[in-house]
Amino acid sequence: MNDEADKLKELIGKSKSLVAFTGAGLSSESGIPTYRGINGVWSKYDPAKYASYDYFVTDPSYYWQFFRDVRYPSLEHARPNAAHYFLVELEKRNILKQVITQNIDGLHQLAGQSNVCELHGNTRQIVCMECHKIGGSIEGWFTVAGTVYDDTKTSIFPNATISLTTGPNGTGTLVSSVEVDKKGNFYTTEMVDFGNGLYATVEGNSGINHMNAMVQSGQCNSCHGNSTDRIWTN
């Protein structure tokens, strides 16, 4: 061992009550990309748009695109590494009393850590801003999500219902229904079998609108060719 590792081993051996503070470096060993630095996430994505509550309220499609392209792929296959399990072992021995982490990947919990304080929340646990109901609960992901806009493609289409059917114009078998909230956003953690593709019908106060192309996944940009996750009601 080097001098620093020897000192750490000695410190842990003499301690009866430890607190661990962890950050991005710990999760990078599990394949989670770091945010800062030359090749960090924020070198490609503007945090003022993708990590801002105010911007999310203005246009949530930016975050859902970021979640789809960056966060979900890295979290889907990430597993705790040796450092996570080392901290769990210290907790089992009643040496480590608390883990305080800046990470939002939930890997501490997946490793079996009990006492975790998450300074920035948890990406695996998504909470409704209206009713504060937890939708993700670590095991759930948004299988269908996006924002509905009216035919001007600028104003949201709120308080509606999206019906996903096997046939066009609301025909065929109803596979799933997703509610659109007052801000035009829709999301669900329920598994949806898209099969060879489903057709979306949006029904709201101004009438019923049908999408003329099939949706083949929960990523709604695939049905209208736009780069962000938006559904047009026409």
Token digits of residue 83: 């450092």
Q: Which of 120, 132, 210, 224 is catalytic?
A: 120
Residues 91 and 118: their CA atoms lie apart, in Å, by 17
108 noted as active-site residue: no
Instruction: List Cβ neighbours of 99 (8 Å cut-off, separation of 6 or more).
Output: 19, 20, 22, 87, 91, 108, 113, 115, 116, 117
Give the whole-angstrom CA distance, residue 176 versus residue 178: 7
DSSP structure string for 75-97: HHH----HHHHHHHHHHHTT-EE
The CA-to-CA distance between both ends of the chain, in Å, stands at 65
Question: 90 and 61 in contact (C-beta within 8 Å)?
Answer: no
Residues with active-site annotation: 120
